[in-house]
Copies of this chain bind each other. A is one copy, B any other.
Amino acid sequence: MARKPVEKPAQTISGMPAGDPKHAARATRSAGRKMRSSLLDGASRLFKERGLAGTSISDIAAAADAFPSQITYYFRTKEALFVEAACRDMLYVAREAERAAFEADTPRDYTRALVESVTATDSVAFFAEALTLTRRRQDLAPLVERTIERLHGEGLRAYAGQIERHGWNTLRDPDATSRRFWAVAIGVMVEGYAMGRSSDALRREMLRVLGEQAATKPAGDNARLRLVGERDISRSSSSEGETSS
């Protein structure tokens, strides 16, 4: 897609010392970041409310007190802005969920806190919409890919840390657990939002589908905690490369 030629956004920083180019550049960069961030905030709110088709570039510009040309300058297209706003939201909600679950003492409380946090917002549904869009817009795939990598990476780190801190016994490898969590979240939300489910119903459905991820008591009772044959399946499918099994 060809980049639309647009003017650079007008300098809006007042009282800048004209004689210090370094300071001026820094101030411009910081103002740019601020504008970018406020465009993403406005876009995120409007897109979640009205969807991609129901939101125009000028709506977003108006919401962020900016010009439409600033949106095309920073993001090129509405679709790219949609995907970036959704990715940002998703990482934010994931971090919030980990924070909310950090104090949990048992695997069940941990899962409940994560699920409660994730189902309380529509960020996962927003992200799923961005994923659906990206299927037809492979130019936007790299950002989505980085987001999913971070999501799984941070999820894995948080879960592994929790297991370590509490001495929980995980029922499957932590990487698969984190991937399952997000796959189930996306699946349950996409389905639930289509059916107009309440966040309470989404929470219950997600807990039900997830089941148990880990068990509290590791000692002397190991046999109860192993899933027969589980190791083999996750091993043969653990690589994302193109080796056939």
Contacts and interface: CB of A to CB of B under 8 A. Distances in A.
Interface of A: 50-51, 53-54, 108, 111, 125, 128-132, 134-136, 138, 141, 144-145, 148, 171-172, 176, 179-180, 182-188, 190-191, 193-196, 198, 200-201, 203-205, 207-212, 215-217, 223-230, 232-234, 236-240, 242, 244-245
Given A51-B135, A125-B135, 18 more contacts: A51-B136, A54-B136, A131-B193, A131-B194, A132-B132, A132-B194, A148-B191, A176-B211, A182-B191, A184-B184, A187-B188, A190-B190, A201-B240, A203-B237, A205-B240, A207-B237, A208-B237, A212-B228
Contact of A211 (B134, B172, B203): B172
Interface residue SS majority, chain A: helix
29 contacts: A53-B136, A108-B229, A111-B233, A128-B128, A132-B193, A132-B194, A134-B194, A148-B195, A171-B227, A172-B211, A176-B208, A176-B209, A179-B208, A180-B184, A183-B187, A183-B188, A184-B184, A186-B190, A187-B190, A190-B190, A200-B244, A201-B240, A201-B242, A204-B240, A205-B240, A208-B234, A211-B230, A212-B233, A223-B224
B212 A229 contact: yes
Contacts of A180: 184, 209-211
A195 B237 contact: no
Contact of A234 (B183, B184, B190, B211): B211
A179 B205 CA distance: 9
A131 to B, nearest CB: 4
Contact of A230 (B125, B145, B212): B212
Kindly report how many copies of this chain are found in the complex they form together.
2
A197 to B, nearest CB: 8
Contacts of A198: 242
Contacts of A54: 136
6 shortest interchain CB distances as A-B pairs: A183-B187, A187-B187, A186-B187, A204-B237, A134-B194, A131-B194
Contact of A215 (B129, B141, B228): B228
A5 B245 CA distance: 56
